Amino acid sequence: MRNVSHHRKRLVEFSFENTKPTVSDVDLIADIQRVARERGVTELPIRIYREFGAFSATVVKSRFGSWNRAVELAGLAIVGEWEIPDEQLFDNLREVWIKLGRQPRAREMAPPVSKYSRHPYKRRFGSWLSAMQAFVGSIDQPQNETEPATVTPVAQKGPRDPSLRLRFLVMRRDNFKCKYCGRSPATDASIELHVDHVLAWARGGRTVLENLQTLCTRCNLGKSDLSEDAG
């Protein structure tokens, strides 16, 4: 008699094994940075990542909401954003100009100096120089930089912090140099400039062009909260 148990087939247990674990956000960002580093670029279009990236660009977009958000988190310049308002482009350009202490070159529009690459500016204005002309034209347009006066003393002085446009006007007037020591980020990249009240805001000084000056970090800290007249 045949031994049935000897020939009985063993039951196979079927269980799921995840052979493709979920990639972390950190891994995705690191791979974007790797591709940019290996390609020697500071801006990374999605088509380049599709060719050299280790992960799906669709996964990247889904994880971060958009490709631009992913490259921004990776510390790269945004290339393909089409509907950026002019004021947003100009605000970024003001910050870059202030950081450099001079008119930026197209090739310098990259992180960590600039949020946007040169391409959105060239698309919007036709060329980089045309973008510069449009920007300077917007700066030179007369605008009211103070809030309307009200019955309260604080409101009569206007806001304490100057707008980005007013900061730019002050620094341009002062040639992007510290009024005390003369240092500038144009000649020393370690220099950071600030806009300071000549007569302190706390002492009644207004946030207007005539009462503002450009100081470097060291001179601004040394000046403290005293006005020049107070010594």
Q: Which two tokens stand for residue 160?
A: 């304490």
Same domain, yes or no, for 93 and 130?
Answer: yes
Specify if 183 maps to a domain. yes
Domain count, the chain: 3
CATH number at residue 215: 1.10.30
The more confident residue out of 160 and 211 is 211
Question: pLDDT band at 14, cuts 50/70/90?
Answer: low
pTM as predicted: 0.65
- Phi, psi (rounded to 5 degrees) for 197: -75, 130
The pLDDT value given to residue 150: 40
Last residue of a domain, one of 15, 44, 73: 73
Residues 58-95 have pLDDT tens digits of 999 999 998 988 998 999 887 766 678 899 999 999 99
Specify if 16 maps to a domain. no
Specify if 43 maps to a domain. yes
DSSP secondary structure code for residue 202 in this structure? G
Same domain, yes or no, for 133 and 179?
Answer: no
Tokens 């220099």 — which residue?
Answer: 191
Residues 172-210 have pLDDT tens digits of 999 999 999 999 999 999 999 999 999 998 888 999 999
Specify if 187 maps to a domain. yes
Same domain, yes or no, for 101 and 136?
Answer: yes
- Can you tell me the distance from the alpha carbon of 196 to that of 177, in angstroms, rounded to the nearest whole number? 13
Residues 143-158 have pLDDT tens digits of 654 444 343 455 556 7
What residue numbers bound the domain in which 183 lies?
153-223
Same domain, yes or no, for 217 and 187?
Answer: yes
Same domain, yes or no, for 217 and 162?
Answer: yes
Residues 25-67 have pLDDT tens digits of 999 999 999 999 999 988 888 889 999 999 999 999 999 998 9
Handedness of CA 103, 109, 111, 116 (dihedral sign): positive
The pLDDT value given to residue 119: 87
Could you give the dihedral angle defined by the CA atoms of residues 75, 77, 83 and 88, in that order, rounded to the nearest 10 degrees?
Answer: 80
The pLDDT value given to residue 224: 62
Specify if 188 maps to a domain. yes
Same domain, yes or no, for 159 and 217?
Answer: yes
The pLDDT value given to residue 85: 87
- Phi, psi (rounded to 5 degrees) for 134: -65, -40
Same domain, yes or no, for 119 and 96?
Answer: yes
Specify if 146 maps to a domain. no
With a pLDDT cut of 70, the percent of the chain lying above it is 79
Specify if 209 maps to a domain. yes
- Can you tell me the distance from the alpha carbon of 198 to that of 64, in angstroms, rounded to the nearest whole number? 45
